[in-house]
């Protein structure tokens, strides 16, 4: 076991004591805006770290894979109960990462709502990002950065809505959102998420893009 894995296990143990959960993803360097993320899974008090750190999108995709494998093994798991995906202020303030800077979203209120889009802990705990929060972050990345992975993420969401009797094709929904202001789009995301998304994993699975 290398030094990164040893440190990751130690941090995962701290997070489990503070926050509970079984799957932990967190920056390996809390003060580095572009820090890679470590992933550690706890099963029966044994900790299993990913061999290498990865970026936030890959970490989220890895979490989805872990949850799916746990379900296949007959374990009762869900995202909110099991997953602790954490960021710190340095990552939140990064100019071009999935943790979009909340202070400069160019909207009338902060894009992410505490309690629904993220859960703010202590300085040591960091922040837990929800499925709805990732959806909003992806939208902002499309608008402000033209990020192709975020675009794929949003396309998957439009396709989901089209199958849920939204009343338009995925392409038409995408055009509808393009005509909205950021405030309108963020409000629309909140409303459609509440009405059409039945499980957070339906959105988290969008991260498993090939």
Please report, for residues 2, 11, 60, 210, the alpha-carbon distance to residue 127 in angstroms, rounded to integers and kept in the order given: 27, 15, 14, 27
Q: Is residue 122 classed exposed, middle or buried when 0-12, 13-18 and 19+ CB atoms within 10 A define those classes? A: exposed
Query: Is-above-0.75 flag for pTM?
Result: no
Distance CA 133, CA 86 (A): 12
Residue with tokens 């960091």: 126
pLDDT, residue 123, reads 57
pLDDT, residue 48, reads 93
Select the more confidently predicted residue: 193 or 115: 193
Residue with tokens 């936030």: 56
Q: What is the mean pLDDT of residues 51-72?
A: 80
pLDDT, residue 97, reads 46
* Tokens coding 26: 């967190």
Q: What is the pLDDT of residues 19-33, one digit of tens each?
A: 899 999 999 988 887
Closest CA to 18 of 91, 113, 123: 123
Please report, for residues 50, 158, 162, 164, 195, the alpha-carbon distance to residue 126 in angstroms, rounded to integers and kept in the order given: 20, 31, 35, 35, 29
Distance CA 50, CA 37 (A): 10
Distance CA 139, CA 171 (A): 15
Q: Into how many domains does the chain fold?
A: 1
Distance CA 93, CA 98 (A): 10
Distance CA 192, CA 93 (A): 28
Q: What is the mean pLDDT of residues 165-169?
A: 92
Percentage helix, strand, coil for the chain under 3-state DSSP, each rounded to 5: 50, 15, 35
pLDDT, residue 64, reads 77
- Categorize the per-residue pLDDT at 85 as very low, low, confident or very high, splitting at 50, 70 and 90: confident
Residue 34 has pLDDT above 90, yes or no: no
Q: What is the mean pLDDT of residues 33-59?
A: 86
Residue with tokens 């400069």: 104
Instruction: Of 7-21, 42-56, 100-114, give the lowest mean pLDDT range.
Output: 100-114
Q: What is the mean pLDDT of residues 45-60?
A: 84
* First vs last C-alpha separation in the chain: 29
Q: What is the pLDDT of residues 98-118, one digit of tens each?
A: 444 333 344 445 677 777 887
**Domain enclosing residue 43, as ranges:** 3-207
Average pLDDT value over all residues in the chain: 82
């Amino acid at each position: 076991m290398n030094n990164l894995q040893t440190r990751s296990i130690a941090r995962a143990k701290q997070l489990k004591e503070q926050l509970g959960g079984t799957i932990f993803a967190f920056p390996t360097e809390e003060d580095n805006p572009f820090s890679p993320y470590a992933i550690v899974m706890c099963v029966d008090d044994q900790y299993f770290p990913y061999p290498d750190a990865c970026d936030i999108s890959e970490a989220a995709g890895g979490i989805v894979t872990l949850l799916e494998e746990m379900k296949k093994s007959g374990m009762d798991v869900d995202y909110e109960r099991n997953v602790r995906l954490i960021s710190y202020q340095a990552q939140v303030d990064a100019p071009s990462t999935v943790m979009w800077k909340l202070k400069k979203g160019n909207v009338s209120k902060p894009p992410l709502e505490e309690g629904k889009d993220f859960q703010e802990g202590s300085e040591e705990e960091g922040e837990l990002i929800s499925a709805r929060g990732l959806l909003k972050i992806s939208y902002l990345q499309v608008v402000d950065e033209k990020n192709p992975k975020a675009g794929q993420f949003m396309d998957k969401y439009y396709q989901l809505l089209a199958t849920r009797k939204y009343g338009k094709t995925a392409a038409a929904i995408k055009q509808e959102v393009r005509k909205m202001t950021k405030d309108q789009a963020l409000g629309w995301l909140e409303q459609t998420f509440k009405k059409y998304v039945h499980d957070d994993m339906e959105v988290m699975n969008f991260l498993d893009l090939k």
